[in-house]
Structure 1
Amino acid sequence: MGEDRTPEDITRGRCLCGAVRFEYAGRPRWVIHCHCESCRRQCSAPFTTFVGVKDGRWRWTGAEPAVYGSSTGVERLFCGRCGTPMAYRADHWPGEIHLYAAAHEDPDALTPQAHVYHAEKLAWLHLADDLPRHDGPAA
């Protein structure tokens, strides 16, 4: 991240205990809700919301997160102290990290743009928004 950034350009987040922290400059590339089974299981939630940030615009500002290789080419990053999910990285999305929206200091400032893996959505979850729904990843 460039030193020419002002504090207003920086978005920050942290885990529950505050050990793992991140920040990034500028606006995220995208914000999406993911309904895939592996994301649901990893977060123990009906779906999760990710924020895509290009590499080179973000950094860890606290402790480095622990890493779990959940499948070939996929890493799930979390706080090794409190267990908070922090990020997702995958070989098939090179050059970016997917940070969890709920870990942001101000998640209300984020505006989701779509639902992905909607075909895996839990049947009892009823969505009331008009966001686009993709059965797989967004194109």
Structure 2
Amino acid sequence: MTSDPPSGALPSVDLPLAGGCHCGALRYEVTAAPLDSGYCHCRICQRLSGAPAMVWASVRLGAFRYTKGRPRIYRSSDWGRREFCGDCGSQLAFRTAGPSATLDINLPTLDVPERLAPRRHTWVTSRLSWFRTADDLPEHPDDGPLSL
């Protein structure tokens, strides 16, 4: 999904943020404001989600923890792995395989996903021609800049 995001946090959001999988076997908590958010239109996200895009938010590793259960891991590429529920299959997080200070959570897995909104589109070169969103967010052919 993303490499390390910009250094400034998103506009204020009430913390902590909580989320989890569909069946409730995995729960997580985020204790600091996300640093970035967006739509990922890459083919890997499309195929893994069965949707035209995934919506993510980058959070610092130290601000994220599982409060219930342990995720299963799927290495989706040489540079990334997905964390998902082994019972219901919900994908909750993405981590880069190498050193990184952040991970991406899937925004719709938040208990109240309306608390955050995407700020940009990434990997638009893979966007499906029939999928458009009604926004004027910045679009990037790849991960985009490391600071917005």
- Equivalence for 1:3: none
Determine which of 41, 50, 61 is the counterpart of 1:55: 61
- 2:82 is the counterpart of 1:76: yes
Give the Cα separation in 2 of the matches to 1:128 and 1:46.
15
Secondary structure (helix, strand or coil) at the match of 2:46 reads: helix
Matches within 5 A, 1:99-114: 99-114=105-120
Question: How many residue pairs get matched?
Answer: 132
Q: Counterparts in 2 of 1:24-103, with a 5 A limit?
A: 24-91=30-97, 94-103=100-109
Residue 122 (structure 1) shift = 0.1
More displaced 10-residue stretch of structure 1: 86-95 or 12-21: 86-95
Give the aligned residue type for 1:128: A
Q: Once the two structures are superposed, what CA deviation does each residue of 1:102-122 show, in whole Å capped at 9, x if it has no partner?
A: 100110010210000011100
Corresponding residue for residue 130 of structure 2 = 124
Give the TM-score, by structure 2 length.
0.85
The counterpart of 2:139, out of the listed 120, 127, 133, is: 133
Residue 26 of structure 1, CA deviation:
2.3
Report the Cα distance in structure 2 between the residues aligned to 1:89 and 1:20, rounded to whole angstroms. Answer: 17
The change in CA–CA distance for 1:107 and 1:93 in structure 2 (over 3 A counts) is farther
Aligned to 2:7: none
Residue matched to 2:15: 9
Equivalent-residue separation in structure 1 for 2:76 and 2:40 (angstroms): 16
Aligned-residue RMSD, C-alpha: 1.2
Moved over 6 A (4+): none
TM-score by length of 1: 0.90
Unmatched tracts of structure 2, length 5 or more: 1-13
Cα distance in 1 for partners of 2:34, 2:130 equals: 30
